[in-house]
Amino acid sequence: MNNQVYIFDTTLRDGEQSPGASLNIKEKIEIAKTLEQLQVDVIEAGFPISSRGDFKSVKTISTHIKNTTIAALARASEQDINAAYEALKDCKNKRIHTFLATSDIHLKYKLKMDRNSVLEKAVHAVKYAKNLGVEVEFSAEDAARTDLDYLCKITESVIAAGADIVNIPDTVGYALPNEFAERIKTLFNKVSNIDQAIISVHCHNDLGLAVANTLEAITNGARQIECTINGLGERAGNAALEEIIMTLKTRQNALNLTTNINTKNIYKTSRLVSNLTGIAVQRNKAIVGANAFAHEAGIHQHGVLSHTETYEIMTPESIGLKTSNIVLGKHSGRHAFINKLEKLGYSFEKVKIDELFFKFKELADKKKDIFDEDIQALATDEFNNKKNDFLKLKLFSVLSGNQEIPHAKVKIIKDGKEVQASANGDGPVDAAYNAIEKVAGIELKLEDYNIRAISRGKDAMGEVIVQVSASNLSFYGKGTSTDIVEASIKAYVDAVNKILRNTKLKS
């Protein structure tokens, strides 16, 4: 059997379904370009029928990406498949990914269909998509809980109908690794035409087993894995691309499986996705967390200093993480700055680079050392600087102290006009948020607030990530500044803009 494993990245589709995550088209294009540099085999760009925004995203990404297959999701209906095809029409390498639930619980309560009807619908969808002259993938939704004999039957039938790839998802993250391995093994033993298609898996992480189940699947014959950067996705997320890839690389002697991934682009891709979605990577996250290559215990430090392999099974450099990244300062030139942006995975037009370089110089006047994280923060701020934002912070002032009632005043550009508001609060941040709520004109609820230093030293830039909800919508917002109150205000305004934008789209 071929030892090549194909990587299907669904960060822009399933990953964006993470609660609070929201990306505009510009941000999606930047992530897609970085995924292309990472050399994933397939980018699932969206679900075209679901909204005009998703249709436009898939269509736009298709025109920017040349060397990677672009997939569009579609339910097993002609209308969905037509929308997917239209969005992909100008794409060089296109795939329609159609799906239909197959478990009895989904058939009874969601589809209200019997097994024969579902089988007929799946076969028709695959034939219809295949007749459009594109690569076709079929997913048996909730395959991990589907009757195994029926799963074998539907797999054989869609392959006969022309499916190039058949995906076996653990949609609700229910399977144990040995159970999932046996399911894949049974398919290879019982499906007569299985050699005519690639078997894929898409594992969710509800029990923390997504990566383990994926590895078991490919050990037993699956040759495509569906995953996301940083494990983003609905509920507890998906199998994390970086964890699977580095397992295959680090344990290549045991698994004897290869991919096309350029692992030196893993770290910058992880950081880009985290920065643009506003979803922070936990410090102890495998491979890309801040602590992944940190050694605090004395005995570990001694071992690593003596020989890195005593406590490091992979090097920071293997994922593109430089151990020393203080490279810029107030005397650094424009070329060095542009070079750093490119190495971190960002690309901007000349006019934007001019603006960013000016902001870099301003930051360098405040800070002695400029770290990679500082440059990433500047670039992310540029992505978040949207011309069509409903609210833009112009200025703020706060009064606070242990003998003062915290008070904040904000001046915000709203719909092209300056609006000023002031309010008291439990502290300077709470007061500022109360003032912003007055300007926004909607009732807002702060669900979560996190603050951290994104580099090091007392002059470090602060990063604030908030989750704000209103009108049954909830979004993350992020802000950075050397002034933590300003970072907090920027984060809140960012989240409120996402809520206002989506409220307008739904109205």
Asked if residues 440 and 391 have their Cβ atoms less than 8 Å apart, the reply is yes
Tell how far CA 461 is from the center of its chain.
Answer: 24
Amino acid 387: pLDDT: 59
Give average pLDDT by consecutive 10-residue segment, the chain, 507 residues: 94 86 86 96 97 94 95 98 97 97 98 98 98 98 98 98 98 98 98 98 98 98 98 95 98 96 95 87 90 55 48 82 63 83 78 87 81 80 68 94 94 92 96 95 92 82 91 86 93 91 63
What class is the 6-277 domain?
alpha beta
Q: Is the dihedral of CA 295, 300, 302, 306 positive or negative?
A: negative
Supply angle C-alpha 261, 454, 308, rounded to 5: 55
Rounded CA separation 253/443 (Å): 57
Q: Report the side by side order of strands in the sheet with 391-399.
A: 391-399, 407-414, 417-424
- Please report, in angstroms and rounded to a whole number, the separation of the first and last CA atoms in the chain: 53
Domain boundaries, the chain: 6-277, 298-383, 386-506
Helix (H, G, I), strand (E, B) or coil at 173: coil
According to CATH, what is the number of the domain 386-506? 3.30.160.270
Neighbours of 347 (CB within 10 A): 14
Residues in the chain: 507
Q: Where are the beta strands (DSSP E) in 65-196?
A: 69-75, 94-101, 135-141, 165-170
